[in-house]
A and B are shown apart, each in its own frame.
Chain A
Amino acid sequence: GAGVSQSPSNKVTEKGKDVELRCDPISGHTALYWYRQRLGQGLEFLIYFQGNSAPDKSGLPSDRFSAERTGESVSTLTIQRTQQEDSAVYLCASSPSSGGSHEQFFGPGTRLTVL
């Protein structure tokens, strides 16, 4: 079956512009996560959605970052007024539920470059 998909795969933008990143989770997965992976570093948690519950936004680094998810489908991560330090790979993952032993299925990521 189809895995997690993300678009665009690459995005180059100028400092100060807004960008929108999209994630299509695996159908039926109730949990959705966004992570940021800076070059040569580990994954940094950004935000988590579980069904229709209020999202956990505790990992968002600033108020320039926001994310939305409609029900249990597509999610968008928006970065306003991009800065060079926002350059990274943004990864989306989905999971059948939020239970502790469930693995996360990752998308290929969106590589964001802010000039």
Chain B
Amino acid sequence: GDSVTQMEGPVTLSEEAFLTINCTYTATGYPSLFWYVQYPGEGLQLLLKATKADDKGSNKGFEATYRKETTSFHLEKGSVQVSDSAVYFCALRDTGGFKTIFGAGTRLFVKA
């Protein structure tokens, strides 16, 4: 079945460091890919998405590129801030489907 694997956390970085959170997936067909973020004390919210191969999703300085050849959707940000501290979830959803498969989440701590 479909699955999402993302790097284990926690990831601890200093402010202005470069961030990469790896995400790989297994799916039949052509899924849509998502990154959701859960800030402390808040609900999950969509960070960015990509619906087809080579698409790049971007938001709030974060970006991720849908790589079909490596079945990956790694999240990157060039310079993290303390306010980026949160749990990040990679997810996929089959085209025409309804069930969204989430990764286990990666907790990010950013130190001032």
Are A and B part of the same complex?
yes
A residues neighboring B (CB under 8 Å): 4, 31, 33, 35, 41-43, 45, 48, 50, 56, 91, 93, 98-101, 103-109
Interface size in chain B (residues, C-beta < 8 A): 25
On whether the beta carbons of A45 and B100 are closer than 8 Å, the reply is yes
- B31, A100: Cβ atoms closer than 8 Å: yes
State A93–B100 Cα separation when bound (angstroms).
11
Query: Do the beta carbons of B94 and A56 come within 8 Å of each other?
Result: no
Chain A minimum-CB-distance residue to B42: A108
13 A-B pairs within 8 Å (CB atoms) are namely A4-B43, A33-B100, A41-B104, A42-B103, A43-B102, A93-B44, A98-B98, A100-B96, A101-B32, A103-B34, A103-B46, A103-B49, A106-B43
Give complex CA distance A109, B102 in Å: 16
In the bound complex, residues from chain A placing their C-beta under 8 Å from that of B36 are: 106
Instruction: Look across to chain A and name the residue whose beta carbon is closest to the beta carbon of B93.
Output: A100
Residue of B44, B51, B94, B102 with most partner-chain A CB within 10 A: B44
A91 touches B43 (CB 8 A): yes
Option from B34, B99, B104 in Cβ contact (under 8 Å) with A42? B104
Chain B residues near A108 (CB-CB < 8 A): 42-43
Q: How far is the CA of A35 from the CA of B101 in the complex (A)?
A: 11
**Which residue on B lies nearest to A31, using beta carbons?**
B98
Q: Please, which residue of chain A has its CB at the minimum distance from the CB of B104?
A: A42
Across the A-B interface, give the 10 residue pairs with the lowest CB-CB distance, nearest first.
A42-B104, A100-B95, A98-B98, A106-B44, A43-B102, A103-B46, A106-B43, A101-B51, A108-B43, A101-B32
B51 partner, pick from A35, A45, A50, A100, beta carbons under 8 A: A100
How long is the Cα–Cα vector from A50 to B99 in the complex, in angstroms?
Answer: 11
**Min CB gap B35→A, angstroms:** 11
Assess the A101–B99 pair: CB atoms within 8 A.
no
